[in-house]
């Protein structure tokens, strides 16, 4: 099923439709027509439209994250080098995602004139909620994919006496949540200066909390 021709046709169809329409206005029937298959076939592969969106997010960023995870598993590299590789994957994925979002937003603006009527304002609020929903799916995927790998790297750093911390899984989750949210820059919009300040604050906390020399984790502030 996953990776089959029809499976990819369905994902391709949703991706194409999302270039011109909001996800909330796209029906399963429309996805089926775009994919050139019957509506019943959609439900053979996916239980819902939401599941199709989940799969599309996964497919869109699977390659870059898998590459980073493979590099992170090279234990001949220092834990800090592998952390930097994971951070770069997080940053690259966020950049790629935001480029797609900006393209879609630009197309939507071309098709809709600015209106101030109550109906238009309600429509705008609905679009914002839907956009936030898509961003949350992206953030959830990136964090869930990278957390086990970063946890392992932190644990190896602890075993090598390079880091000092009691709960590597909790630390990995905290770091990824801050990085992903700040780099995505949608749920908490920030200027580049504000993002840098937050990441520098995170770096300072991590260095003091794990006992590593100051400047060791400066790669976190590069964005």
What is the model's pTM?
A: 0.78
Give the whole-angstrom CA distance, residue 110 versus residue 133. Answer: 23
pLDDT of residue 61: 79
Contact indicator for 185, 138 with CB cutoff of 8 Å: no
Contact indicator for 147, 169 with CB cutoff of 8 Å: yes
pLDDT of residue 148: 92
Query: Considering only CA atoms, which of 64, 48, 221 is closest in space to residue 141?
Result: 64
Instruction: Tell me the percentage of the chain whose pLDDT exceeds 70.
Output: 85
Q: Which residue has the higher pLDDT, 122 or 172?
A: 172
Contact indicator for 166, 79 with CB cutoff of 8 Å: no
Q: Using CA of residue 33, residue 39, residue 42, residue 47, what is the dihedral sign?
A: positive
Give the whole-angstrom CA distance, residue 109 versus residue 164. Answer: 50
Provide the Cα torsion 66, 69, 73, 74; round to 10°. Answer: 80
Percent helix, strand, coil in the chain, to 5, is 75, 0, 25
Domains and CATH numbers, the chain: 1-47 (1.10.10.60), 57-221 (1.10.357)
Separate counts of helices (H) and strands (E) for the chain: 8, 0
Q: 178-211: per-residue pLDDT in tens?
A: 988 888 888 788 998 999 999 999 999 999 999 9
Residue with tokens 């994971």: 86
Q: 111-136: per-residue pLDDT in tens?
A: 554 556 666 666 666 666 777 778 88
Give the whole-angstrom CA distance, residue 142 versus residue 125. Answer: 26
Please count the CA atoms within 13 angstroms of the CA of 201 that sit on its side-chain side. 9
């Amino acid at each position: 099923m996953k990776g089959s021709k029809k499976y990819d046709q369905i994902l391709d169809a949703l991706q194409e439709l999302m270039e011109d329409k909001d996800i909330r206005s796209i029906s399963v029937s429309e996805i089926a027509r775009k994919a050139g298959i019957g509506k019943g076939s959609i439900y053979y592969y996916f239980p819902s439209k939401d599941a199709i969106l989940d799969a599309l997010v996964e497919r869109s960023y699977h390659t870059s994250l898998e590459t980073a995870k493979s590099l992170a598993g090279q234990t001949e590299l220092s834990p800090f080098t592998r952390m930097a590789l994971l951070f770069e994957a997080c940053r690259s994925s966020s950049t790629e995602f935001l480029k797609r979002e900006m393209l879609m937003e630009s197309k939507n603006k071309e098709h809709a004139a600015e209106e101030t009527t109550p109906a238009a304002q309600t429509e705008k609020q609905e679009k914002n909620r839907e956009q936030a929903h898509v961003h949350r799916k992206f953030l959830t995927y990136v964090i869930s994919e990278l957390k086990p790998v970063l946890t392992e790297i932190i644990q190896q750093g602890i075993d090598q006496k390079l880091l000092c911390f009691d709960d590597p899984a909790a630390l990995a989750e905290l770091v990824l949540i801050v990085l992903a949210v700040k780099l995505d820059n949608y749920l908490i919009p920030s200027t580049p200066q504000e993002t840098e300040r937050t990441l520098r604050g995170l770096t300072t906390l991590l260095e003091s909390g794990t006992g590593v020399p100051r400047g060791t984790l400066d790669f976190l502030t590069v964005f």
